[in-house]
């Protein structure tokens, strides 16, 4: 399988590049980024050619698959190109800068019958299977996921992600979208409605929020998602708190390594498991390429992404920063 990577200045590039280099039968044949100085190190690692124009790269190399990363403001244009060229791809969420773009590219991919995966990687967490295996209605969910402060994006030279014009939003769109999707998964596709939202930028004083809380209801459940760029911590380290209530069980995670399960008869079980997104990208890459080979659907697609982004946008509309 001949694979290309597009937009490798994105900080998630190693999550896709490194697994591809280890999978037998997969060859990275091209790397692109508008900034050649960012593309060349990745191309050297993959022992392939670096390009500044992804259109030229795809025309020359005719890849079997693309891992597509970009500024949020450029994602929809990139997706439309890959869809028009009928190149199967995986695109980093949120795949667009707003709900209108997200819905448009989802419709285009569906009409084309094209395989497009979106790395809502927390779907691979044992948390999901553990809860759903109880076969009990979910009543309440609460996900708190506070990431590092905005200086990390300066250090990674991706300042576009903290400017609303190019990112579309702050931690709610960048991090919280994972949990909008996760609520939909745990409620097995139930339609969710945003009932309340609060945004603040009082820490970083930027055009994006640095803290957000969103309330939702649907499928007989109440859901809360809290995200932020507030935690003085290294990259990929989070202040994490999950709480999920089903009919007969309470699930609680207070760190990235353990899940507490308490039954209504007060029986308590501690289960070791990984709970943040960063642990599951390798699984996503391997599983996505295998699903493409097998003719199966991706674990999450552009339609799933559009639904999650629509919830984020509804929250922004309810509590604008001004």
Same domain, 187 and 314: yes
The string of pLDDT tens digits covering residues 6-55 is 999 999 999 999 999 999 999 999 999 999 999 999 999 999 999 999 99
The neighbouring-strand residues paired with 198 are 213
The per-residue pLDDT for range 257-304, each reduced to its tens digit, is 999 999 999 999 999 999 999 999 999 999 999 999 999 999 999 999
Q: What is the DSSP letter of 312?
A: H
Q: Are residues 95 and 236 in the same domain?
A: no
Above 90 in pLDDT, residue 234?
no
Looking at every residue in the chain, the average pLDDT score rounds to 97
CATH number at residue 10: 3.40.50.720
How far are the Cα atoms of 27, 140, 159, 260 from residue 47, in angstroms, in the given order? 10, 49, 28, 45
For residues 72 and 148, membership in a common domain is answered with no
Shared-domain flag, residues 193 and 156: yes
164 and 312 assigned to the same domain: yes
Q: Does residue 222 sit in the same domain as residue 233?
A: yes
* Domains contained in the chain, number: 2
Give rounded-to-5 percent helix, strand, coil for the chain. 40, 25, 35
| pLDDT at residue 96 is higher than 70 | yes
Which CATH number do you get for residue 243? Answer: 3.30.360.10
* Claim to verify: residue 313 and residue 165 sit in the same structural domain: yes
Q: Which domain holds residue 272?
A: 123-276+308-318
Reported pTM = 0.96
Q: Nearest to residue 225, comparing CAs of 304, 172, 278?
A: 172
Alpha carbon 110 to its chain centroid, in Å, reads 20
Q: Are residues 109 and 128 in the same domain?
A: no
What integer is the mean pLDDT of 116-129?
Answer: 97
């Amino acid at each position: 399988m001949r694979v290309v990577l597009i937009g490798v200045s994105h900080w998630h590039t190693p999550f896709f590049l490194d697994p591809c280099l280890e999978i037998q039968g997969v060859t990275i044949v091209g790397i692109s980024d508008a900034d050649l100085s960012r593309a060349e190190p990745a191309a050297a690692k993959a022992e392939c050619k670096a390009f500044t124009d992804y259109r030229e790269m795809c025309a020359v190399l005719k890849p079997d698959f693309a891992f597509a990363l970009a500024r949020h403001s450029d994602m929809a244009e990139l997706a439309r190109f890959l869809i028009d060229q009928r190149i199967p791809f995986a695109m980093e969420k949120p795949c667009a800068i707003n709900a209108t773009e997200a819905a448009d590219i989802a419709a285009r991919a569906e009409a084309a019958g094209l395989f497009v995966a979106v790395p809502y990687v927390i779907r691979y967490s044992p948390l999901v299977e553990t809860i759903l295996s109880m076969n009990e209605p979910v009543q309440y969910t609460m996900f708190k996921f506070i990431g590092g402060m905005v200086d990390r994006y300066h250090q990674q030279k991706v300042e576009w992600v903290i400017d609303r014009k190019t990112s579309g939003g702050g931690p709610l769109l960048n991090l919280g979208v994972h949990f909008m999707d996760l609520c939909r998964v745990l409620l097995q596709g139930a339609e969710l409605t945003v009932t309340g939202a609060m945004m603040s930028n009082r820490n970083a004083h930027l055009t994006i929020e640095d803290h957000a809380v969103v309330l939702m209801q649907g499928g007989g459940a109440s859901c809360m998602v809290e995200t932020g760029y507030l935690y003085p911590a290294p990259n990929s380290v989070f202040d994490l708190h999950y709480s999920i209530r089903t009919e007969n069980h309470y699930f609680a995670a207070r760190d990235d390594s353990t899940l507490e399960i308490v039954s209504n008869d007060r029986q308590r079980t501690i289960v070791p498991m990984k709970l943040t997104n960063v642990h599951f990208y390798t699984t996503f890459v391997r599983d996505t390429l295998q699903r493409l080979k097998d003719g199966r659907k991706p674990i999450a697609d552009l339609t799933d992404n559009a639904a999650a982004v629509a919830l984020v946008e509804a929250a922004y509309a309810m509590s604008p920063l001004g």
